[in-house]
Structure 1
Amino acid sequence: MKILKKIRERGLHWFIETIKLKITFFLNNISYYFFSILPINDRKIIFESEGDLSDNSFALYDYMLKNNYTEKYKFIWAVDDIKNARKFKFPQTVFINRKYGIFDLKRAYHLATSRYIIFDHYNILSNVKKRRNQLVLNLWHGVGYKEIKNGKKVKEKSTFDFFDTLSDKLSLEFLKDFLECDPSKGVVLGYPRLDYFFRDNLEGKKFVKSLVGDKNKVLLWMPTFRQSINPELSEEYDYSETGLPIVYTADEMIKLNDYLIKENTTIILKIHHLQAKLPIFKTEFSNIILMSDDDLRDNNVQLYQFISQMDGLITDYSSIAIDYLLLDRPIIFTLDDYEEYEKHRGFYKKDIKKYMPGEQVYNYDEFLIAIKNIIDNKDLYKEDRTKILPLYHKFKDGKSSSRVLKFLKIER
């Protein structure tokens, strides 16, 4: 009776697609167990990231490519768009479907016979029982300020053996709570993507120069997506013209752009794709540049190669601020909705502002003053960053990829 009710509510098409999905799920699982009779290949590694070929997994893979691990190891990438991934023609690399919605024998074969499964978002072995000699490492993708609010716990047949973290202090504490696991699973190795902060990053430099030319300062603004703070704040961002903190209206955007022109400074604005559809962002501003993940991907640039080129960061409650601490550059925190955010979403620590070492601004005028301080090289919070850094980062050497491989006993 429940099924009939759902068919009436959602339609026959929903029912057919649901059945197809269940059959596909079953076939993928059966295929995995069939291939499990084969020996495990100790030189085969599977990678996964959300946003194909990105984040911590790609940074680790990139390090291996550049350091001749291809002579000994074979790489398998779980991606959403196999056709696009093949365009890069990476050596010793094959691609499989990331999600279970597509029947993929090649996926089942590699999942069953790879020694290492490394992911930063989605554990692709969660639907099957991993083999005894397989090792699953969760690199994850950030330590933040927000309160931990996990959804309904999904029972996984295989969980990760270890999770990577940035320090044995706040970073480990946060992640073991967020991932709901024993802290003994935590290994303090640092994030591979942060290694880009310690390299020349010619790709990032070239891309930024193509965007801004020879500007005095370039600031990155990465606000938190606020859809989930309050049901009254819709996806369409009807509560303001921009959906941004501090700068609420088109007039204020124009004023900000005029100010940046005068100061020979550019703000690169990386926002959620839903915000990018707002009418205000159909207008092109000379010194406020909208940037998306697609822009980075099209230019073959990783986000952290790009971030490393910024003179300062503007954010609010995003984990990007914690990563940016390693660069020891100014951070502006926009906290105009702090009380509302605390009430509806909450923070990991009650005194969370103590862990935000930068200018904390609450209105447009304070925002401009904070920007001006960066332009004038007035770094007012350097000591605060120095005090907070060890709580989140044990290492500041750009050698996280090397540590991860050493921990996994992956040698050239």
Structure 2
Amino acid sequence: MKKVMFYSVPDMTDNTWYLYEKLRDKVECVWLVHDKKAFEGRMPPCSIVDPGSCAGEDAGLVSQLSMTVLSHTVYAEAFRRYNPGHRILYLGHGAVGKGVKADAVGKDMWGFDNILTLGGELSTRHVNTIFGGGRERCLELGYPRNDILFRHAGIRQGGTVKILWMPTFRQSWKKSLNQKYIRTETGLSFPGTWEDMKRIDDRAGECGVEIHLKLHRLQLDLPVFRRVEQELSNIRMVKQDRGDFYRKAVEYHALLTDYSSVYADWMLIDRPVGFVLNDLDEYAQSRGPFTYDFKQYAPGHHIYGMNDMEKFIGEIAAGTDSMKPERDRLFFDIHGFRDGNSSERVAQWVMEHI
């Protein structure tokens, strides 16, 4: 039986986990984790290794790998030093959105043999622009993680209207990723003041809407987010956990985001999206330029200030969906499939290439 190693951040999550679930009875599985002792004995019959053991007591095991699959960007050389000849498949965890620094674009510096995309022309072009090496390396098969959006219960009829708010990070506990141009009271581009945060909370209350704010895992924990928990009634913080949040995301009526790639995944369940775009130019200068015209491919309400935000909340409360034609028009530019079978497609490809 061929050996395949799996890697993700956090350990055992994201696209890598859902592909593992399809392959675990077909290949000999090895999980690369950050703390081997925390997982040993918990995942039979998998082998558990960490970066230290790959160069030590587990060197013989990893030298026998046929493939490594990973969902987060670690240079391929980090894996090839243990096993120079095996294939490395990068699954990714966000196929569109977000800029990339110019010195990391299109130079084939990552060294992956193949790179997964969502399957649409835009997502494949975006991935190829970033990673280089030619489109023939791109696998237009869809993300395994997104299959769960098709398999879990959706909105309960008659329940409270809920908006899921998922901004990408601006200020991060990982200092190298800080977007230094942000100097707002809230640490967000909008709302930038506590007074505006309260106005959004008030508008949600007027409309009978709950807004659930889920921070990016790299977002710095700021005092303002504790104030949200303590002082506001209609904006509520969603606690971080190790589980896959997409199992819960299907319960929401609409998504509120900015440049996060989550909007592309959200399109699979065909519900409204609001995009906060008031710092688009500053974000692109700080994070790196977008590989495409972001506004052209953002099929939802474009929010630049309080009036736009209040209009978005009101429309979601009323159950109207004025931007659905735009989502329909752009769907197959981003996605190649709408069927919940991406895990199966990628697993089949792996079995054919090990």
* TM bracket (short chain): 0.7 to 0.9
Select the structure of larger CA radius of gyration.
1
* Structure 1 Cα separation of the partners of residues 352 and 274 of structure 2: 40
**In the TM superposition, what are the counterparts of 1:99-178 in structure 2 within 5 Å?**
99=51, 105-121=56-72, 122=74, 123=76, 124-128=78-82, 130-131=84-85, 134-151=86-103, 159-167=111-119, 169-178=121-130
- Counterparts of 1:173-322 in structure 2 under 5 Å? 173-200=125-152, 216-227=160-171, 239-272=183-216, 275-283=219-227, 284=229, 285-292=232-239, 295-297=240-242, 301-322=243-264
SS of the equivalent of 1:366 reads: helix
The yes-or-no answer on 1:58 pairing with 2:17 is yes
Q: Aligned Cα RMSD in Å?
A: 3.2
Taking a change above 3 Å as real, the CA distance of residues 128 and 43 of structure 1, as seen in their structure-2 partners, is: closer
- Once residues 181 and 97 of structure 2 are traced to their aligned partners in structure 1, the CA distance between those partners, rounded to angstroms, is 23
Secondary structure in 2 aligned to 1:333?
A: strand
The one-letter code of the counterpart of 1:91 is: P
Alpha carbons of structure 1 residues 81 and 391: separation in structure 2 relative to 1, 3 Å = same
Q: CA deviation at 1:128?
A: 4.5
Q: Equivalent residue of 2:241, what SS?
A: helix
| Residue equivalent to 1:355 | 297
Give 3-state SS (helix, strand or coil) of 2:63's partner. helix
C-alpha distance in structure 1 between counterparts of 2:14 and 2:244, whole Å:
8
Structure 2, unmatched stretches of 5+, are none
Q: SS of 2:311's equivalent? A: helix
Structure 1 residue 302 displacement after superposition:
0.7
Report if aligned partners of 1:126, 1:158 keep a CA contact under 8 Å in 2: no
Query: Match for 1:407: what amino acid?
Result: W
Alignment partner, residue 10 of structure 1: none
1:407: Cα distance to partner?
1.1
**Are the aligned partners of 1:96 and 1:106 in contact in 2 as well (CA < 8 Å)?**
no
Contact 2:117 2:138 in 1 (8 A): yes
Counterpart-to-counterpart distance in 2, 1:259 and 1:311: 17
Secondary structure of the structure 1 residue equivalent to 2:79: coil
Instruction: String of CA shifts for 1:216-254, please: whole Å, max 9, x gaps.
Output: 1222212122359xx9x9678872121123212222223
Q: Which runs of 5+ in 1 are unaligned?
A: 1-41
In 2 relative to 1, CA 375–369 (structure 1 residues): closer, same or farther, beyond 3 Å?
same
CA distance in 2, matches of 1:312, 1:397: 21
Structure 2 SS opposite 1:116 = strand
In 1: Cα distance, 2:222 partner to 2:181 partner:
8
TM-score (norm 1): 0.73
Structure 1: how far apart are the matches of 2:108 and 2:328? 40
**Matches of 1:366 and 1:86, distance apart in 2:** 51
Counterpart of 2:279 (choices 337, 342, 348) is 337
Offset of 1:309 from its aligned partner?
Answer: 2.6
Taking a change above 3 Å as real, the CA distance of residues 276 and 78 of structure 1, as seen in their structure-2 partners, is same
* Structure-2 separation of matches of 1:158 and 1:126: 12
> d(CA) in 1 for partners of 2:352 and 2:252?
33
Q: Identity rate of aligned residues, in percent?
A: 31
Q: Secondary structure at the match of 1:336?
A: coil
User: Size of the alignment, in residue pairs?
Assistant: 341
Counterpart residue identity of residue 346, structure 1:
P
* Closer, same or farther: CA 166–236 of 1 in aligned 2, 3 Å: closer
2:84 match: secondary structure:
coil
Contact map agreement 2:163 2:255 (CA 8 A) in 1: yes
Q: Give the partner amino acid of 1:266.
A: E
User: Structure 2 length normalisation: TM-score?
Assistant: 0.84
For residues 164 and 127 of structure 2, the distance between their equivalents in structure 1, rounded to whole angstroms, comes to 26
- Residues 252 and 83 (structure 1 numbering): CA distance in 2 closer, same or farther, change over 3 Å? farther
- Judged with a 3 Å threshold, the aligned counterparts in structure 2 of structure 1 residues 263 and 106 are, in CA distance, closer, same or farther, namely farther
2:44 aligns with 91
Deviation, structure 1 residue 115: 2.0
Higher RCO structure (Cα 8 Å, ≥6 apart)? 2
1:403 paired residue among 321, 329, 345: 345
Secondary structure of the corresponding residue to residue 200 of structure 2: helix
Question: Does structure 1 conserve the Cα–Cα contact (< 8 Å) formed by 2:256 and 2:273?
Answer: yes
